[in-house]
Amino acid sequence: MKSSTNLSGAITRGHASTDWRLSSSVKSELVEAISPLGAMLEQQQLQSSIDLGAESRAVEVELPKADRSVELALAVGPMYWKHRISDQYTSDLSPFDFNYQDNFGYAARLQASKPLTKILSLELGLDYERVNISSGHNSNIEYTIQNEPGADQVNDYEVSLATPYGLMKTEFTFFRNAEVEDETVALLVDFKNEHLIQNLRIPLSLRVHPLGRYGKLRPVLGAGLGTNYLLELRNAPSSINTNHSAVHYQYGSAVMLDQDIKRWHFDLSLDAGFDITLLDGLDLQLNYQFSKGLSPLFELEKYKTSVDRHYLSLGIRRRF
């Protein structure tokens, strides 16, 4: 009986040992089956991370920081104010030796620009312009002794003087300091006038960077439309010469009255220049611009005056 019991125990242990060996085998098979799956999942996670990184880098390339920037610039420089006066106006005034002088002035400009693409920018500006212009002509005027008021040996006048900006009513006084032979003295009077002009301009333009916005020296081209408002046109006679020994202009008596001018006027502009890098985000700007007047400052039937302008400016441009 004892032998039988030992045999049963041996058989039981033998079964238990067999079960243990089967469990180990199953575990080994499971590990072998799961390991490739884990590796595949890890590979998929790694590939997803790579794809996300690539997409992130792609977004950064498509939307560079420069494309989201805003640029501000301040520039100053000389300006040449050139008149375009209708042939009919100058022809009708030629018997009176009508003349005028184009002149240099100066302009100051504040600009804001927004990049649209790698080579295009939209720019809006505000310009202040100031220039002095001279003009003149002669005129036949009579001094009449009968028109002298009482004991004062003077004559008062109100005449229209020709200027590049139309005919301007002008009041002045002549006085007599010597006796004259005739009751009426015919005078050929030379008039010279000064015109102070202050103009406000709002240009809207498209700037082109042919070689892109990056680099030490970058060429820039542009074209745009300008809206102008004439802030002031101040007129004053600078000289009135009677060319007579007994009749003279009473200094300080002349007053030029306001004339009807078109304060709003428009122009078309073209410009070219260079942006030169000084520091990161800070450029030196050198620019030439030509502006052609599209509408006149003065217009009366066939008489009209428009203005073309040449600008040369030096400024600083800052990127934000």
The pLDDT value recorded for residue 261 is: 87
Say whether both 263 and 184 belong to one domain: yes
The pLDDT value recorded for residue 35 is: 56
Contacts of 71 (CB under 8 A, 6+ apart): 111, 112, 113, 114, 115, 121, 317, 318, 319, 320
Say whether both 17 and 149 belong to one domain: no
Say whether both 157 and 87 belong to one domain: yes
Instruction: Kindly give the parts of the chain with pLDDT less than 70.
Output: 1-68, 258
The pLDDT value recorded for residue 253 is: 82
Choose one of 23, 40, 63: the last residue of a domain. 63
| Number of structural domains the chain divides into | 2
Say whether both 36 and 97 belong to one domain: no
Q: What is the DSSP string of 209-239?
A: -TT-S-SSEEEEEEEEEEEEEEEEEEEEEEE
The pLDDT value recorded for residue 260 is: 75
φ, ψ dihedrals at 9, nearest 5°: -65, -40
Q: What is the DSSP string of 54-93?
A: HHHHHHHHHS-GGGG--EEEEEEEEEEEEEEE-HHHHHHH
**Structural domain containing residue 54:** 1-63
Q: What's the whole-model pTM score?
A: 0.74
Say whether both 113 and 125 belong to one domain: yes
The pLDDT value recorded for residue 14 is: 41
Q: What is the DSSP string of 28-39?
A: HHHHHHHHHHHH
Closest to 128 (Cα-Cα) out of 235, 273, 228, 234: 228
Contacts of 113 (CB under 8 A, 6+ apart): 70, 71, 73, 121, 122, 123, 124, 207
Say whether both 23 and 154 belong to one domain: no
